[in-house]
Amino acid sequence: MKKIRFAVLMSMLLLTYTEVAAQGYSRKKTDSLLAILPMLQKDTTRVKALYEIAYDYQYINPVAGVQYGKEAISLATSLQFKKGIATACAMTGLNYAALTDFKNALLYETRAITYYRQAGNKGGEAAMLSNISLIYSEQSNYPRALENAYAALKIYEALSLKTNQAYLLDNIGTIFFRNKNYSKALSCYDKSEAIYTAEKDRAGLARAKANKGMVSQKMNELD
pLDDT tens digits, one per residue of 69-93: 999 999 999 999 999 999 999 999 9
For residue 181, the model assigns a pLDDT of 92
Q: What angle do CA 169, 17, 85 make, to 5 degrees?
A: 130
Contact 127, 7 (CB under 8 A): yes
DSSP of 73-118: HHHHHHTT-HHHHHHHHHHHHHHHHHTT-HHHHHHHHHHHHHHHHH
Q: What are phi and psi of 13, to 5 degrees?
A: 95, 40
Coil, strand or helix at 161: coil
- Listed residue (99, 90, 167) closest to 121, CA to CA: 90
Q: What is the pLDDT of residues 188-217, one digit of tens each?
A: 999 999 999 999 999 889 988 988 998 888
Confidence bin at 17 (pLDDT 50/70/90): very low
Contact 1, 210 (CB under 8 A): yes
Tell me the domain boundaries of the chain.
Answer: 18-222
Residues present in the chain in total? 223
| CA distances from residue 181 to 42, 58, 102, 126 in whole angstroms, order as listed | 51, 32, 25, 24
pTM score? 0.84
In the predicted model, is pLDDT for residue 4 greater than 90? no
In the predicted model, is pLDDT for residue 18 greater than 60? no
Task: Fold for 18-222, please state it.
Answer: 1.25.40
Confidence bin at 223 (pLDDT 50/70/90): low
3-state secondary structure 39-83: HCCCCHHHHHHHHHHHHHHHHHCHHHHHHHHHHHHHHHHHCCCHH
Give the dihedral sign, CA 167/133/91/156.
positive
